[in-house]
Amino acid sequence: MDATLQAKLEALPTEPGVYLMKDRRGEIVYVGKAINLRNRVRSYFTRTGDTRFFVSLLDQVLGDIETVLVHNEKEALLLENELIKKHKPRFNVLLKDDKQFISLRLDKHQAYPRLEVVRRYQKDGARYFGPYSSASAIRETLRIINRYFHLRTCTDHVLANRKRPCLLHQIGRCPAPCVYEVPSEEYRKSVDEVALFLEGKASELVDGLRGRMKQAAGELRFEEAARIRDQLLAIERSLERQKVATSDFKDQDVFAFHREGERLLVYVLYVRQGRLNGGQAFPLGSQEFPDEELLPSFVNLYYDQGNFVPEEVLLPLDTEDREALESLLSERKGEKVRVVVPKRGEKHDLVLMARKNAEQAALERRRTRDETELVLRRLRERLHLRNLPRRIECFDISHFQGASIVASQVAATDGELDKTRYRRYRIKTLAQQDDFASMHEVISRRLRRGQEEGELPDLLVIDGGKGQLASALAAVKDLEVEGVDVVSLAKSRDLEVHDRDEESARSPERVFIPGRKEPIVLRQNSAELYLLTRLRDEAHRFAITFQQKSMRRGTLRSALEDLPGVGEVRRKLLLRRFGSFKRVREAGIEELTEVLGPTVAERVHAALHGHPADDPEDPVRESSLLDAGALVDEKSNEGSPPDSP
C-alpha cells in the first residue's frame, strides 16, 4: 500500500457514512456503509486469516478511497442505495432487472371494482395481494375468481363506453355492470368474498357462502344454490393447497442465502396471511464482501424497486444496521415494519426453509452452468472457433419492399439471452435495399463502438449465407479487429423434388464459416443448433418489430403533416402527448388546446371531424386524412432498447 493511501486510512473519520473504493483507473468497484467509517474500512487491511479473493488483492487493486459523511445509519442506507444504482460497482449486489413480480390490485373505491394485474405497489388506498412468483399461479387464481365470483374484467374505459354485454356475461361469468343496472350491494358481496379468498381466510368465506346457499335453497332458488355449492367446492379445494406457515397470520418476506465462493444466491420466501405464497431466487456473482454487509444492501435495493413491504422481514443473520433498515422500511410502508432475526420457533423454521430453497436453486444453477459450458465447448469444436463463445451477438436486416431498412442486434451471455445488450440500427448510408451493404454498415458500427468502449463479443452470428458472411468479414478486416469469430447461419429451405408422389423436402440449417466452401451442418435437435437458431429467430423478431414500428411512426407523421397549422414542432408535441393518430382524432378540443393552442386546435379538430372551420379544407384532402389515420395502429412496441449510434 502506498504512503498516500495509508495516510488516508489513518485520517478516516469515525462518524457514520458511506465509503467508495476505487481501482487504479479511478473506477468505483465497491460502495459500502458503516456506523464508524474508520473501523469498517481499516478492518479490510487488519483482519487475520481473511481468505476472500477481493481482500487478498486489495493492495493491487485499490487506488483510492472516498468517504461521504451522513448524520445516521438510515441516511447511510439511503445514500449507499443511490450510489450503487448510479455507479453499478462490480463488487456490489446489483439487481439489474427492475421488473417486479406480478400482484393483484383491488380498488374498493370504484363503483364496480375489478382485479388488476400490476407490478408495482402504490399508496393509493387500494388492496394489493401477492406477489405471485409465476404467471401460472396468478392465472389459476384469476381463473377461479372469474368463474365463481363474477367480477368484471373490462377496463374503466370499456365499462363507461360499452353498448352491449360481452361474451363473459353471456356465459354467466359477469353481471355486466357496463350495460345493466347491477345492485351495488350484491356486487359488493362478491368483492368482499374475493378479498377473503385472496387473503386465505377460509372459515369466514366458507361460512358466509354456506349461509347464502342454505338461504337460496330455503327460498326455492335451486339454481343459485347449486352455483354457490360449486363455488364452495372449488374454493375449498384451492384453500386446502395453501400450506399454513405461521399461526399469527402476518405478511412476511423471509430472506436466506447460499454462498459458493464469490457466487451468492439470495432466496426470498413469501408468506401472506400466514400462508406460503411462493418464492424467488436471485443469483449474484462476484460477491467477495461479507454476508453481513451484502444482505442488508440487497434487502434495501429489493424494496427500493417498489416491491410490496410486508409487516415482517425475517433475516438469517443479524447486522449492525438492522434498526436503521427497520426504520427505513417502516417509512416506505407507512406503518411499523419489524426486521427480525429468529432463533427458534415457526419463524426460524421459515428461515431454514428459505435456506433449503436457496441451496436447491444454487444446485440447479450449477448443474445448468455445467451443461451450458459443455454446449459452448461443443459449439467451439464443431465450428472451429478460436474463442469459447460466452458472449454471442446475432445480427439481422429487415425491410419492407426495399424501404424502411433497419437492423437488429441480439445477444446471449453464457447461453442465455442478454437483453441489456440488444440494439437497433437504422441504415444510414443506403437509400435502397442492399442486404450486403447494410450488413457491412451495421457490423462496422458495432465493431467501431466496441473498439472505443473496449467491449467486443466472442462470436458474431450473421443471419444469412455466404454473401452476408463476406460483408461482415470485410467490416472486421476494414477495422482491423482481431480475436472475434464470425459465422453465418442460413435458414433451412424447400428442396426441389422431381418425384410428384414424394413430399417436399427441406434442407437442414447450415452454418458458414470463413475459409471453408461447404457449410457445416450441426446435428439436428442438438443443443448447439438450438442455441444458434434461437438467437437467429430472436434477431429476426426484434428486427421485424422495429421495422413495423418505424413504418407506423412514418405513417403517423405523414398523416399529421397534412393537418392545418401543424409543423415539425407541433407534430412532435402531438406524438409525445397522444402517441397515435387514432388518439389525436378521438381527442376533444380541450385536449388539443393544451398542446396546440385554441386557434390551431379548432382548425385541427374541424379537419379531423369534417366540421366547418375558419379556413375551409378540401373534402378530398380531409378524407385522405381520415384514411391515413385508419392505417395507424395505436399499439406501440414499448420497452425496446434505444437506437445504437
Cell 385508419 sits on residue: 630
Where residue 553 falls among pLDDT bands split at 50, 70, 90?
low
- Flag whether pLDDT at 505 surpasses 70: no
Q: What is the per-residue pLDDT for 625?
A: 39
Q: Which helix (H) or strand (E) holds 67?
A: strand 62-69
- Flag whether pLDDT at 439 surpasses 50: yes
Tell me where in the chain the CATH 1.10.150.20 domain(s) lie. Answer: 562-630
Q: Locate 630 and state its grid cell.
A: 385508419
- Flag whether pLDDT at 237 surpasses 90: no
Q: What is the mean pLDDT of residues 188-203?
A: 80
Q: What is the pLDDT of residues 570-591, one digit of tens each?
A: 877 887 777 777 778 788 888 8
Q: What is the spatial distance between Cα 144 and Cα 352, in angstroms, rounded to a whole number?
A: 32
Helix, coil or strand: residue 153: coil
- List the Cα angle 298/301/306 in 5-degree steps: 135
More confidently predicted of 577 and 180 = 180
Cell 368465506 sits on residue: 205
Tell me where in the chain the CATH 3.30.420.340 domain(s) lie. Answer: 252-363, 391-542
Q: Which residues contact 102 (CB under 8 A, 6 or more apart)?
A: 117, 118, 119, 130, 131, 132, 135, 138
Q: What is the CA radius of gyration of the chain?
A: 31
Closest residue by Cα to residue 76 from 26, 36, 121? 36
Q: What is the pLDDT of residues 346-362, one digit of tens each?
A: 899 899 989 998 998 88
- Flag whether pLDDT at 498 surpasses 60: no
Q: Of 8-12, 210-214, 338-342, where does the model show the most confidence? A: 338-342
Q: Which residues contact 422 (CB under 8 A, 6 or more apart)?
A: 408, 409, 410, 411, 542, 640, 641
Q: What is the spatial distance between Cα 405 and Cα 425, in angstroms, rounded to a whole number?
A: 9
Tell me where in the chain the CATH 3.40.1440.10 domain(s) lie. Answer: 3-87
252-363 folds as Nucleotidyltransferase; domain 5 (3.30.420)
Q: What is the mean pLDDT of residues 464-468?
A: 92
Provide φ and ψ at 449, rounded to 5°.
-65, -40
Supply the CATH classification number for the domain 3-87: 3.40.1440.10
More confidently predicted of 531 and 172 = 531
Q: Is 616 exposed, middle or buried, given 0-12, 13-18 or 19+ CB atoms closer than 10 A? A: exposed
Q: What is the spatial distance between Cα 112 and Cα 504, in angstroms, rounded to a whole number?
A: 57
Whether omega for the bond prior to residue 131 falls within 30 degrees of 0, making it cis, is: yes
More confidently predicted of 532 and 577 = 532
- Flag whether pLDDT at 254 surpasses 60: yes
Q: What is the per-residue pLDDT for 596?
A: 85
Helix, coil or strand: residue 276: strand
Q: What is the per-residue pLDDT for 487?
A: 96
Q: Is 17 exposed, middle or buried, given 0-12, 13-18 or 19+ CB atoms closer than 10 A? A: buried
Q: Which helix (H) or strand (E) holds 260?
A: strand 252-260
Residue by residue, what is the 3-state secondary structure of 468-496?
A: HHHHHHHHHHHCCCCCCEEEEEECCCEEC
Q: What is the per-residue pLDDT for 320?
A: 82
- Flag whether pLDDT at 616 surpasses 70: no
Q: What is the spatial distance between Cα 485 and Cα 252, in angstroms, rounded to a whole number?
A: 50
Q: What is the spatial distance between Cα 76 and Cα 328, in angstroms, rounded to a whole number?
A: 11
More confidently predicted of 439 and 623 = 439
pTM score > 0.85 for this model?
no
Residue 111, Cβ neighbours under 10 Å: how many? 10
Beta bridge partner(s), residue 252? 271, 312
Q: What is the spatial distance between Cα 61 and Cα 55, in angstroms, rounded to a whole number?
A: 9
Kindly list the distances between the CA atom of residue 494 and the CA atoms of 333, 465, 503, 526, 533, in Å, as whole numbers in the listed order.
Answer: 61, 16, 11, 21, 17
Residue 474, Cβ neighbours under 10 Å: how many? 15
Closest residue by Cα to residue 531 from 487, 495, 493? 487
Mean predicted lDDT score pLDDT of the chain: 81
Closest residue by Cα to residue 577 from 448, 590, 565? 590
Q: Is residue 428 within 8 Å of residue 441, measured between CB atoms?
A: yes
DSSP 305: T
Q: What is the pLDDT of residues 112-164, one digit of tens each?
A: 999 888 877 777 888 888 777 666 777 777 888 888 788 898 888 888 888 88
CATH class of 562-630: mainly alpha
In one-letter notation, the amino acid at residue 311 is E
CATH architecture of 391-542: 2-Layer Sandwich (3.30)
Q: What is the mean pLDDT of residues 604-630?
A: 50
